[in-house]
Structure formats: C-alpha cells, structure tokens
Amino acid sequence: MQFHQLQYFVAVAETRHFTRAADLVHVAQPSLSQQIKALERELGADLFLRARGNITLTDAGEALLPLARRILADADTARHEVLELVQLRRGRVRLGATPSLCTGLLPDVLRAFHDRYPGVRLLIEEGGSHDLVRELARGALDLALVVLPLPTPSPALTTVELLREDLVVVSSPDAPRPGRGRRTVRVADLEGERLVMFRHGYDLRELTVAACRAEGFEPDFAVEGGEMDAVLGFVRAGLGVAVVPRMVAARSGRGLRVTPLARPGLHRTIALAHRSDVAPPRAARELHRMLLER
C-alpha cells in the first residue's frame, strides 16, 4: 500500500468522480485509475462501485476511508512538525558546560538565543570536561563547552577554540590581601595561603594544583570539594582564597576582592565540541553559531 494510492482513493471518495479526483491531486486520470486498481488488488477487495455517472463506496471502501484520512492527516502533521524543527520554531538543544562557564559565559548567550528562538528548549548539563566528553561520545549531548586540552583526546570529536580566559585570585575584602598586599600576585605568592579548592575532576582544580607544583610547592587547602558557587561562598566567608576565571569573578557581585595574577599568569582555553560523525540538530547548530559570534 502506497501513500499516494491512499491520496488518490480519498480524492475519489470525496469527489465521487475519477476525472475530478485526478484534477484535484494533479495526475492524469488514467494514472489515477490504475493506482486505485492496484490498491484494490493489494487489498483483495473492490473499493468503489463503478456505474456510469455514479461512483459509490463499497463496504471495504467505507471501512478504509476513515483510516486513510487519519494516515494522511498524520503525515501532514509530521511534515509540519519537521518543518517547525527545521525553522527553529520548536526543538531542543542539549548543551554541556563546566559550572564556571555556566556562571560566566553562558547566561548572556542563552538569553539571546532564547529571545530569538523561544520555542526551543535548552537542556543544560554541568560537569567537568572529562564527564562532558563522555556524554558527547555516547550521544547524550549535542554540544559541550570544554577546557582544552581534553583529558582524553578523541578523534570522534570536533573542537573549535572559543576563547582564552585569564584566571584571577579572589579573596574576602575582610581578609589580608594575598601576595603581601601587592596589586598583582604571582603563583609563587600562593605558597602559604590557605586555598579554597574545587572537587576532584574539576578542571580548575587540576590547573591550579599543577601551577603550584610547577613553582615547587604543594598547595595548602583550607576546604575542598565544592562546586563554583560553594567555593565563592567559602571565600566570601573568609575561609581562604581561590583561583577562578575572570568572567566568574566579574559576575559574582559584592563580597569578593579580585586580584589579577602577574604575567605570565594563568589561563585556560575554552572550546566548543561536538561529535564528528553526527551532525548536530539545526537548533544546536544555530546555538553553535551564536557562541562563536558572541
């Protein structure tokens, strides 16, 4: 049973005339008649009683008509649903990002995307780069904002560098200024400071610890194990200092002193990643474009 055969059958049933039905579906009348006969052969029953000037439905035709109309209506609905997705009226984007990027980079971009495409649902998953790469590989995410270099480089992923971000030291205004009060501090000045440290698996933890060890000392943790909001809260409370992205510090409001790191400082490179073997959905491709053009 072919889709166009059902279209021809419904046209004849509604017009009760083969020639008018052929005009309605824009085919030649002989072709329409042949397709109706082919449908009847496949079903093993006549669908119409054919008399000169009088076309009526058989019992089989009466039974088929509501089913055929439903099939055609479902197909029309499917076309509209797909069209809406293509035109970004509806859909979803599954985006992964590290918690610091959710705090610093994403709010403005996601607001602009939502204003332009209010029917597209945004599903955000926070995690470290290692976890996000794994979620991308198994198809649970469309896009992910990750920190380069990737913990486990994968040829199945395509990455595009998005930005290079400075890291800064944040502390409580009520605590002594780190680095003996200088306007900038070196990584070496963090020796002897109590650090508020992120949980294991957090990109900023690995970067900070590696930088301290490169200066020849092990960092001293006042408290560890938090996510970004918890770390900033502990710093505000005066428990210690933390190394965080400049964008996060800028958006964190009052209650934090921000001290730049002296050159060469510390930086991290943010990239936008997606699977190489599967094209992201249209809505995800549009968000990808907006992130690159931000």
Instruction: Give start-end residues of each CATH 3.40.190.10 domain in the chain.
Output: 81-163+270-293, 165-267
Q: What is the pLDDT of residue 195?
A: 97
Pick the CATH number of 81-163+270-293 from 3.30.70.20, 3.40.50.10860, 3.10.450.50, 3.40.190.10: 3.40.190.10
Give the global pTM. Answer: 0.69
Domain with CATH 1.10.10.10 in the chain: 3-68
CATH for 3-68 (3.20.20.300, 3.40.50.300, 1.10.10.10, 3.40.50.261): 1.10.10.10
Residue pLDDT, tens place only, 128-175: 888 899 899 888 999 999 988 886 777 788 999 999 999 999 999 999
What's the pLDDT score for residue 145?
95
Tell me how far CA of residue 15 lies from CA of 18, 46, 56, in angstroms: 8, 18, 10
Give residue-wise pLDDT tens across range 230-284: 999 999 999 999 999 998 898 887 789 999 999 989 999 999 999 998 888 889 9
3-state SS, residue 270: strand
CATH superfamily of 165-267: Periplasmic binding protein-like II (3.40.190.10)
Measured CA distances, 259 to 64, 168, 179, 181, 267 (Å): 76, 6, 9, 10, 14
